[in-house]
Every structure is written in C-alpha cells, then in structure tokens.
Structure 1
Amino acid sequence: METIVNTHQERAWNDYEGRHWAEHQTRYDGVNSGFNPPLLAAVRPGDRVLDIGCGNGQITRLAARAADGHAVGVDLSAPMLDRARASAAAEGVTKVEFVRADAQVHPFPAAAFDVALSRFGVMFFADPVAAFANIGRALRPGGRLAFVCLDDIRDGDLGRVLAAFAAHLPRLETDGSGVAEPLSLADPTVVHRVLTAAGFAGVDCARVEAPQLWGRDVADAAGFLAGWGPVRHQLDRVDPDTADRARAALAEALRPHEQPDGVRLRGTAWLVTAHRPA
C-alpha cells in the first residue's frame, strides 16, 4: 500500500471502529441507506464511478448496477473492504473493484472517472482541499462530484438522543490535534470554500432527510448505539456506575422513537454536488 497521510483515521478504521462497522454491515446500512436515492441520482448510464470512503461497499455496488458500468471503491479500512468484496461476490456484482488507499494522495489515473460519490466518507480528510483536488484530477473534464455529509446533528433526533446521554458524562475535551471531526463539513460555507479551492465549480448544498433504523426495539437500539465508536469511547473513560446511568439515559431518549417496525430517528444531511470544469 502506498503512503498514507491520514494516519489517525487509518488507525481508527483498522482497529475497533472499522471492525465494528464490518461486523454490523447490515445495521449500518439500515442507518444510512435512506440517503442512497438522492446520492445515486448523480449516476448516469455508462458512468465510470469512483466511491470515496466506500466502507462496506453498498454504494459502490449500487452505483455499478445503476450505471451498468465499472465502479471503484476506495477506503482506508481493511476490515470493511473485506466485507465489501465478500458482499459483491455474494450479490454477483462483478464490475466493481475495491482498493485500500488514502484518497488524499492515491495516484488515481487522470480523468478516469465520470462521477465521484461518497456516503458520509469525506468528512475526515487530514487536508480536505488537497484530497478533493486529488479526486478532481481523477474526474474527466465536466465530471461530477456528489456526496452526503453530516449537517449539524445537534438539532436533529440523533443530536437530542446523544445530548441526553452526554448529560451524564464529564465534558469531552478535544486534544487540539487538529484531527478532522464528523462535522467538519457541516457548514455549507466551509464546503463551498473547500471545493472551490480544490478546483470544483457549481457547488451546491441541499438538505436531505431520511429515516434511520437503529434497532428492533429500544433495548436493541441502545445496545447498538453504545457499541458505536464515538459513544463507546465516552463510556470507556468513566466508572461503571456513571456508564450505566448514561446507558439508561440513552435508552430513555430513544423510547419516543420506537415504532412497530423498530427504532427510527429522522436523519438529516447535506447533499453536496459540484463538477470539474470542462
């Protein structure tokens, strides 16, 4: 594997975080697949597709089918890429390739793709301008970029659930490392600035919503959320009694969202589109 500059994320996604996403592939797809339709609307018949931060590869496989063409998924996580390859084989999707690489510096062939996609995979770049510029060089002139990224989740269902959980924990201080966070592209002004500096044009941010299935019932959803990397990290740093109180608050906050078919939260995100100038 070539040089990786995003070493912090490489460690995380090849350790607990990546293993958890790989082991719970179906559940994470249940959380995020509601955002697939607006994202896949960018794919046209015959497109050559690049999926950035492809994870377990659902978007890569769906895009290959939608385009009836070839799709390449790129990610740092070896556990998730193993799941992506196994899923493609099980589903009989042959026009896909999965590459373990850092999209910020990977030597993509120039002008090799018609469209680059990402479902929540572009928020963690060490240098977002350099990363998007590198992705742009992989697109043909006039090629398209479409991705979904988190908006400010604090005002949504998940934000309120996590706030109830966090109220029982000591404040989590940042370490000042400058490591990109999930909300790094939550401000459309930042998105416009980054993509314009990276050479893209026609930048647009549209808010999209989708139901997110977190579990069969409250107990199941709370257990799954407690194992999600950001939540588990906070639980691991407190004593058992404090952790139990936080878990109970998490379950109670999920209770109003329990429906006959499971616990569903309303998810919101930005759908970002742009293009490489012709």
Structure 2
Amino acid sequence: MTTQRPTLPELARQALSSVQRGYDLLAPKFDHTEYRTPDTVLDATARALRASGPFTDGLDLCCGTGAGVRVLREVCTDRTVGVDFSAGMLAEARYAYATAAPPAPHWVRGDAHALPFRRATFDLVVSFGAFGHFLPAERPHLFAQVRAVLREGGTFAFPMAAPPRPGTAAYWALLGFDAAMRVRNAVWRPRFVMYYRTWPLAEVHRDLLEAGFDVTLHQLPELGHRDDGAPRCRLILATKR
C-alpha cells in the first residue's frame, strides 16, 4: 500500500479513462487524495446515526476504499457490506480491513444501477462522496434501487455539503470544474461523469419523496457554519415508507 499522492500524469490518465477504469488506476493512492471523505465528516455522520440507531445490517453504497464502512461498523450490530464497481478500490478496502476486529466487512463488486442484493436486505444504507458520478436523470432509478434493498422503515443516509456562495472562490472553482468536465465529455470517449453542482438539495429532496422516502435534514454543527449562518453540511435521513 503506497503513501504517495498521485502525480499529475497519473491524474490525467485517470481523467481520460472511464469512471471505472479511472478508479482502478487511482485506487492505490486514493486515500492520499482530497477525494477521500474526511474523517471529520465520517465521525459527524456516525454520531448523528447513533442517535437514530442501532441498526442491524448496513450497506455502504459506492464504498470505494471502504472509509464509510467504518461508520457502519460503529452503528450496526450485525453485517456490514461495501459495494463498488471498481475492483481496484475493493482490493484496497480488503487490504485496509484485513486486520480489523471481527466481524469482518463483506465486499461486493456491483453496479449501483443494478444492486446485486435481495430485496429488503438492509436496515441502513449510507454513501459518501459518490453522487457526482450520477447524472440528475439517474437519481430516481438510483433511489429506487436503494429503497428496494432497504427493509421497511430502513434508513438511507448521506451527508450533503452546502453549496458555496455565488461569487466566492469556491463557487468559481466548482463552476469551472463542471464546465471543464462537460467540455471533456463532449470531445472525448469514454466519458468520465463527475460533477459537483448537479445534486442541489431541493431536487434531491423532491426525488427522494417521489421514490417513496420520508426525508429529514439533520444539521452537523461540528462541521461549522458558513458566514451567512447556514450549516456547512447536513445529513440527509431518508426513511423508507
């Protein structure tokens, strides 16, 4: 397992690949990039979920190298599962948890568009940092997949950061990134779907309701507030009706 960050040529090679191939290439160094979900977000999510639990069986959707599985192991009493379509990322996850205390997580290679699980299998589904890889038109199907694998009353939980205020450096950085990705995908194949501004809270909330969830927003105050007083991050808690 490497402790080195990816080089610029390595990142360029990843960006010119498909999403799956790109993550296979990036996997050995992924945990040393800014793309890994920060521990502060994972810890805040775990604290919030402990107040809603305990849960029995949990699934980390698009688990990558398994950072989010740590949250499941803290709040679930039985089985924890990570699913991802990148063999490289799953290999890193297996390595990271090879010496973890039992029960060991289960790692499953599968596509979030067609989850390879029986219906009503989990009490909790979480996901961290993966939704930029799904276009807005794909949300209803994705949420339907999650709802199908949740037991009645089960919870779908994921953090959502507040968008940067218009005119700030962060706002222009994300706008520029998304614009560059649209140009890249217009002129290059295979596509690499990754956008930061395609999942606004109001639209996500609407699609969850239409998919058959009841939705509550839980502030994560330990992650701070913006200058206008809005929380920097909220935890979406969607309960299967």
TM-score w.r.t. the length of structure 1 is 0.62
1:117 aligns with 2:126: yes
Aligned to 1:141: 152
Displacement, 1:76?
1.9
RMSD, aligned α-carbons: 3.5
Aligned to 2:208: 195
**Structure 2: where are the runs of 5+ without partners?**
1-14, 225-230
Distance in 1 between residues matched to 2:172 and 2:37, nearest whole Å? 15
Count of residues in correspondence between the two structures: 207
Q: What is the 5 A alignment of 1:30-41? A: 32-40=38-46, 41=48
SS at match of 1:194: helix
Aligned to 1:274: 238
1:172 aligns with 2:180: yes
1:52 aligns with 2:61: yes
Aligned to 1:88: 97
Residue identity opposite 1:111 in structure 2? A
**Identity score, percent:** 25
Displacement, 1:11?
2.4
Of the structure 1 ranges 151-160 and 59-68, higher mean CA displacement relative to structure 2 is found in: 151-160
Displacement, 1:83?
0.7
Distance in 2 between residues matched to 1:180 and 1:24, nearest whole Å? 16
TM-score w.r.t. the length of structure 2 is 0.71
Structure with more of its chain in strand, by fraction = 1
Displacement, 1:35?
0.6
Residue identity opposite 2:26 in structure 1? H
* 1:223-264 deviation digits (Å, cap 9, x = unpaired): xxxxxxxxxxxxxxxxxxxxxxxxxxxxxxxxxxxxxxxxxx
Residue identity opposite 2:160 in structure 1? C
Q: Which has the larger radius of gyration?
A: 1
Aligned to 1:246: none
Distance in 2 between residues matched to 1:93 and 1:28, nearest whole Å? 29
Distance in 1 between residues matched to 2:84 and 2:202, nearest whole Å? 26
Of the candidates 118, 139, 143, which is equivalent to residue 132 of structure 1?
A: 143
> Residue 195 and residue 205 in structure 1: after superposition, are their counterparts in 2 closer, same or farther (change >3 A)?
farther
**Structure 1: where are the runs of 5+ without partners?**
1-7, 212-266
Displacement, 1:141?
0.6
